[in-house]
Amino acid sequence: MDVAGVVEAVARMVMPREPGHGWDHVERVRALSRIIAEELGGGVDTEVLDIAAILHDVGRALSPENHAEASARFAERLLRALGYPEDRIGRVVEAIRSHSFSSGRRPRSIEAAILSDADKLDALGAVGIARVFMYSGAHGRGIEESIRHFYEKILKLPSLMLTKPGRRMAEERVRIVKLFLEELEKELRDLSRGSRGSLGGGDAPGAEAR
């Protein structure tokens, strides 16, 4: 088994069962990383990138408040134990450390930039919408709070993209999020208008359908 295979086997055991950040998220981030790297064509250490993608969220089980740092330290210890070359350990660790939205660090390598973009892309599009509500369900967050999360975090993600393919995919994916939010807010607005006494009026929900 190659190093990535061993790392994957370990990560599968350690990954938190957290909805939205579990192993399925890791698999999607790996696939998105691969797509971005291929589109960039060359200059990317694809093994470093894959290992960083596999391990980027393991720290969520260890330290929920600074999971990027916890994941980076876990990766460093694991890869050193496996005898992985020091310079490549450094690149994996740097990519993991700087991938997080809240870390405030700017990725300094191409692998770090790709991982950061791939992780953010998984928070956008239809998958991103599904993940927001999975998280909300697990944390007792209602629809209004979820909407706030879209505005405070999700809609800002396209402006944080670091690679050209990442930027393009983010623009595509944010469209469905905006459409969804528009519709969600319209339905809620119509209902609150209705509950103030205009239900049955011209602009009541479903009026056009009748």
Residues that bind Fe ion (CB under 5 A): 57, 119
Q: Which is nearer to Fe ion, 111 or 119 (CB)?
A: 119
Q: Which is nearer to Fe ion, 13 or 209 (CB)?
A: 13
> Are the C-beta atoms of residues 48 and 164 closer than 8 Å to each other?
no
Structure tokens at 172: 């595509």
Nearest distance from residue 66's CB to Fe ion, in Å? 14
Q: Which is nearer to Fe ion, 15 or 37 (CB)?
A: 15
Nearest distance from residue 26's CB to Fe ion, in Å? 7
Q: Which is nearer to Fe ion, 91 or 99 (CB)?
A: 99
Nearest distance from residue 63's CB to Fe ion, in Å? 14
What span, in angstroms and rounded, lies between the C-alpha atoms of 124 and 119?
9
Angle between helices 164-193 and 143-152 (to 10 degrees): 150
Q: Which is nearer to Fe ion, 102 or 198 (CB)?
A: 102
How many Cβ atoms from other residues are within 10 Å of residue 80's Cβ? Answer: 11
Nearest distance from residue 11's CB to Fe ion, in Å? 12
What span, in angstroms and rounded, lies between the C-alpha atoms of 124 and 178?
10
Helices (H), the chain: 3-14, 23-40, 46-55, 67-81, 86-97, 110-121, 125-138, 143-152, 164-193
Q: Which is nearer to Fe ion, 25 or 91 (CB)?
A: 25
Nearest distance from residue 57's CB to Fe ion, in Å? 4
> Are the C-beta atoms of residues 177 and 150 closer than 8 Å to each other?
yes
Nearest distance from residue 159's CB to Fe ion, in Å? 19
Structure tokens at 83: 């005898």
